Each structure stands twice: as C-alpha cells, then as structure tokens.
Chains A and B, each alone.
Chain A
Amino acid sequence: MLTQLFGNYLLKQHLVSPSHLIEALRESSSTRVKLGVLAIDAGLMTPEQVDEIHELQRIMDKRIGDLMVEKGYLSPEQIAVLLKSQKSGHLILGQALIDNGHMTTAQFADAIRQFKIDNNITDDDFYDVKDELTEKMLGRFYKLNGNVAGEEHLVEYVSLLFKNLIRFVGDDFVPNKIEKLDTTASGAKQRIRHGLSAITIIDADENTMVEFASRFSNESLSMNDDYTKACISEFLNLHNGLFAVKLSNNEGLEIELEPQKYYEQMDLSGLGNL
C-alpha cells in the first residue's frame, strides 16, 4: 500500500505524469531495486554520490556494491542490510521511474525524503511494513470532519479495499483524496445496513470498467455489457462481504448486505455531506 500512497504523492507534487506512473507501476514486477536507490532511501548516500558511482561503474566494470565500499560510502554490513529492503514496493516504483528516465536520482531523493516527513514515517517503519502502518497512513490520508456516521470504519474499509484491489485486480492504481461526488453516478451499488449504514458504489469510465472487469474475471472482455457489469458488481459484493467478516471478527459488529446491483444512472443528491 505504501507504493500506491507514494504514487499518489508523486502525482500530487507533479513529479510524474499519470501515464508514466501507471507505466512504472506495471513494470514493477520486472524491476530490481538497485543499491543506489536503497542507499538514498536509507539516507546513507546522497544522490550525487549515487550518480558518481553509476558513472564509475560505466567505465570500471566492477560491482556497484564494491565501488561503494571502495569509495568509503558504505560498509559491507550496511550493504547487506540494505539489500533486505530490495522488495519494498515504493522503492521498486522509484527505481522503475528512474530506469524509464521519468525521474532523476536527485528528484527521487527529494521525493522520498519529503514523503517520509509528510507522512511521519521512520526508516524502521519502512523495514517493517505491517497493517498497522498502512492504517496509520491511510488514517492521515482519509480524514473526515468527525460528524459523519460510521466514519470510524472508513480507514478499515479503505485499507481492506486497497488490499482486495491488489489481490484481485492489480496494484497499478493510486488512491485519491476524498471528495464529494457529483449528483449522479453510474455503476455497481450495494447498501450496507444493520450494524453500519452505508452505500458503496463503484463508478468509472467505460474503459476502466472493462479493464477492471477483465482483470477481476481473468477474461478478455471487450465491451461494457451485462457480464462486465456483473463482474464489477461481484467485486463490490465480494469486498463488502470480506469487510463484514473483518468487522465481525475484529469488533463483533454484524452488518447486513443488500443485493448488489448495477445502475446506469444513480441519483446521489440525497446522500449526506462529508
């Protein structure tokens, strides 16, 4: 989830374009984080030092780690520790952006430093990515004004939603801040009631819907037909069901779900203000 939040940060700061970001997110499975990015992230090297090492490597045919030790920037022990964080998603994203030429090493160094300050993340947090951290960060990201019924469950809902998106659809998305919707929407809708009262909706443009449904159903769907709509609706139903299980297990709160349905036009004007 840190990956997506970092992606959102890069977008908000206009450091990358949406298309470059999506490209990098999609390439992340084949991207290997290099030592330079790891060292910058850990605050052990400056971007200038990393660029210098990369320049040296071009002419000296030596391993990057050996060069860093030779120049006295890192100890072999530090390198061993750094390599352990090689699988961190946000670093993979940064590496992919650098590799594609959409970001310089220095821009990445600034971005990751500022991202950590803004989100109050310590280096230890990054090495130990747990649910708690994700929820803590999402809690800061999704803040309501304190007078919306059930808002104490918002972060729980959203963090599970992102997990399910990653699990069932893909990790190449970035979360947006909360905003009030237009008065109409089209898409899948499901009402939650009993222990918690909420209306959940998935709304997107047609291309996104088709891509979403294709990935979720693992089929190649080409148009926004009934089956595509059924897939979108079923994702919402699946996610809300899993949310119900989480609420029940963690807090003993039982909720009921109404049947999910796809609407071409929904009137949202009656919904409460955020």
Chain B
Amino acid sequence: MLNDYICKMHNLLTKYSTEIVLILPCRYDIMKTTNVKVYQYEKGKKMYSGLKVLLCDDSLMIIKKMGDVLKSLGVSVLQTALDGEQAVKLFKLTKPDVVFMDQVMPNKTGLEALKEIKAYHPDAIVFMLSSMGTISKREEAEKLGARGFLQKPVSADDVKTILELVKAELESKNEE
C-alpha cells in the first residue's frame, strides 16, 4: 500500500518537475481516502525549491503547522510520517535532503528512528524536534548523529535558518 503510494508520488513528481510540493499522509487508515495534494507555487516564492523534506511527528497539528511553514518557504517535496517506523521506511524510499524528527512517537521513538536512519545513511541530515529539550536528550541525539535540536514551539524563523544551512551545504557538496 505504502509503496504504491510512493510510486504514485514519484510519477507525479517527475511529471510536474520541482515546482510541486506533495503532502503525503502516511497513516494507513487515512491513505485509502486521501488523494495526493498538489501545491503549485508562484515564481519568486520558491526559496527552497529543490529541497526534499521529511517531517516526522505523531501530532497532526505539528504536521499541519510545520507543513504550512515548509510549504510557504517553497520546499519541493514534503513527506510526512506519523510514527518512527514510517519515518525510517520513508527515508529509505525517498532519501530526503533533511529530516525533522519528533522525539516522542509511537512504534519507534524519534531517537530510535534517528539511529536507524544514520546506520542506513551516515550522511543523513536529521534535526530533532521536541518539547522535551533536556540536556540529556540533546546529548543523546547529538551522540546518535542528529544535526541539531529544535525546542518546541518551533518558529518559522528556526525552520528557515535550518533550510538555509541545508541548502548551502548541498550546494557546496555539488560544487565539489
């Protein structure tokens, strides 16, 4: 089911080039009924076009709020996972440029998902996203290879700063 969905999404992506953001609901029960939403952006708004973002949070509110911010910043592809297991699966399937990962999630916690993603792809850029920004959690995340830790509530500026960093990093990599 999920694979069908991803394939459909990739086909759409190829068809519409990078001016499109896809919102992919990854909860199985809503996948049956939800169609892929396609967002088209006006020129000049595509600040971070070319960036593929994976957003993992079990809260529909965060998915919507963060999703709105990411969409307004013009990222090309936005995928969402509602638990840690989905996050790992989606990462492996789509290799996003940057991952925003909630800490407290069902099935697998954000740190468990982070660990698996880094084992699969050591260069993965993952930012933790949590209200529980204790020093020990931050250190644990850092040890497991997280690039940074965002304390909830997250502001649009925080997200923008991160996308800016990721974009610069990818560009310098491409130049090499």
A115 to B134, CA, bound (A): 38
Contact assessment for B153 and A257 in the assembled complex, using a CB-CB cutoff below 8 Å: no
Chain A 228-253 residues near chain B, CB threshold 8 A: 230-231, 233-234, 237-242, 244-245, 248-249
A194 to chain B, nearest CB (A): 11
Q: Mark A153-192, 1 if CB is under 8 A from B, else 0.
A: 0000000000000001000000000000000000000000
Contact assessment for B59 and A257 in the assembled complex, using a CB-CB cutoff below 8 Å: no
Contact assessment for A249 and B134 in the assembled complex, using a CB-CB cutoff below 8 Å: yes
Contact assessment for B61 and A231 in the assembled complex, using a CB-CB cutoff below 8 Å: yes
Contact assessment for A260 and B61 in the assembled complex, using a CB-CB cutoff below 8 Å: no
Contact assessment for B133 and A245 in the assembled complex, using a CB-CB cutoff below 8 Å: yes
Asked if A46 CB lies within 8 Å of chain B CBs, one says no
A98 to B135, CA, bound (A): 48
B70 to chain A, nearest CB (A): 17
Main secondary structure of the interface of B (DSSP, over half): loop
Chain B: residues with Cβ within 8 Å of the partner, total of 20
Contact assessment for A241 and B131 in the assembled complex, using a CB-CB cutoff below 8 Å: yes
Contact assessment for A241 and B130 in the assembled complex, using a CB-CB cutoff below 8 Å: yes
Q: Which of B60, B105, B131 has the most CB of A within 10 A?
A: B131
Contact assessment for B61 and A258 in the assembled complex, using a CB-CB cutoff below 8 Å: no
Q: Which of A234, A258, A260 has the most CB of B within 10 A?
A: A234
Contact assessment for A237 and B133 in the assembled complex, using a CB-CB cutoff below 8 Å: no
Chain A: residues with Cβ within 8 Å of the partner, total of 23
Chain B 46-97 residues near chain A, CB threshold 8 A: 58-62, 64-65
A258 to B133, CA, bound (A): 15
Chain B 6-59 residues near chain A, CB threshold 8 A: 58-59
Asked if A259 CB lies within 8 Å of chain B CBs, one says yes
Contact assessment for A237 and B131 in the assembled complex, using a CB-CB cutoff below 8 Å: yes
Contact assessment for B62 and A248 in the assembled complex, using a CB-CB cutoff below 8 Å: no
Please tell me which one of the listed residues A217, A237, A245 contacts residue B104 in the complex, with CB atoms under 8 A apart: A237
Contacts A237-B104, A238-B153, A241-B152; A217 near B136 (Cβ below 8 A):
no
Contact assessment for B60 and A230 in the assembled complex, using a CB-CB cutoff below 8 Å: yes
Query: Could you say which residues of chain B place their CB within 8 Å of the CB of A230?
Result: 59-61
A116 to chain B, nearest CB (A): 36
A240 to B130, CA, bound (A): 11
Asked if A132 CB lies within 8 Å of chain B CBs, one says no
Query: Could you say which residues of chain A place their CB within 8 Å of the CB of B65?
Result: 217
Contact assessment for A233 and B131 in the assembled complex, using a CB-CB cutoff below 8 Å: no
A28 to B135, CA, bound (A): 38
Asked if B132 CB lies within 8 Å of chain A CBs, one says yes
CB nearest to A167 among chain B residues: B153
The 4 closest A-B pairs by CB, nearest first: A241-B131, A230-B60, A248-B134, A241-B132
Please give the residue numbers on chain A whose beta carbons come within 8 Å of chain B beta carbons, in ascending order. Answer: 168, 217, 226-227, 230-231, 233-234, 237-242, 244-245, 248-249, 254, 257-260
Q: List 13 A-B contacts (CB under 8 A).
A: A168-B153, A217-B65, A226-B60, A234-B61, A237-B59, A237-B104, A237-B131, A242-B131, A245-B131, A248-B135, A249-B135, A259-B104, A260-B59
